[in-house]
A = this chain, B = another copy of it.
C-alpha cells in the first residue's frame, strides 16, 4: 500500500468540524482543558480534534456537543447545495417513516436550464411542488408541466429530467420517495 503517511489529509479538517468546535468553545469562553474536562474526554483528544489531526469517533463528537449543550447537527456542516450541471439542489430533511424513506430537497433551476437524472431504483417516485416559474419535468419521453402552486409526480425508475420553461427561474420543492424493498 502506498504509504503517504506523512502529512495526513485529516478529514476532520476538510469538513471544518475542528474549526467549528473551536468557534463554539471559545464563543462560550471555555478553555480547551475545561471543555475536555466537562466532556469527559482527554485533552489530547480534543486538541487533536480541533487541530484536525485526528479522525474522531462518533462517541467523541457526542461527548463534545453534549458538553456544549448542542445537538450533533451543530457540528456537521449545513447541507451544502448539490450542483448539477444546471440545477442546484439542497437537501432539507430526511424522513425515515417506517417502510418508506423520504428526502426533501429545495430545487433552483435557472431560466431555460435543463437537467437530467439517471433512473433510480424500482418503486421510487418523485414529487415536485412549484413555487415560481414553469417546470417541465418527469420521464424524458413523457414530461409533465407545472406552474406556480402546482404539483406533479412521476415514477423515477426511468431516466428523467427537469427543465425551466419560459423566462423565469424555477423554484420548487422536490420530494423523493423511496419505498423499502419487501422485508422477506
Contact = CB atoms under 8 A, between A and B. Distances in A.
A23 B66 contact: no
Interface in A43-78: 55-59, 61-63, 66-74, 76-78
Contacts of A19: 96
A15 interface: yes
A79 to B, nearest CB: 5
A94 interface: yes
A54 to B, nearest CB: 9
A45 B101 CA distance: 23
A7 B63 contact: yes
Contacts of A62: 10-11, 15
Interface stretch (A25-33, A134-142, A143-151, A158-166): A25-33
Contact of A3 (B5, B69, B80): B69
A181 interface: yes
B58 A61 contact: yes
A94 B70 contact: yes
A111 interface: no
A4 B58 contact: no
Contacts of A179: 27
A116 to B, nearest CB: 16
8 contacts: A2-B70, A11-B59, A12-B58, A27-B124, A29-B121, A58-B58, A70-B91, A74-B103
Interface of A: 1-8, 10-12, 15, 17, 19-20, 23-24, 26-29, 38-40, 55-59, 61-63, 66-74, 76-80, 82, 91, 93-94, 96, 100-101, 103, 120-122, 124, 178-181
Given A7-B38, A70-B94, 4 more contacts: A2-B69, A11-B58, A24-B96, A58-B58
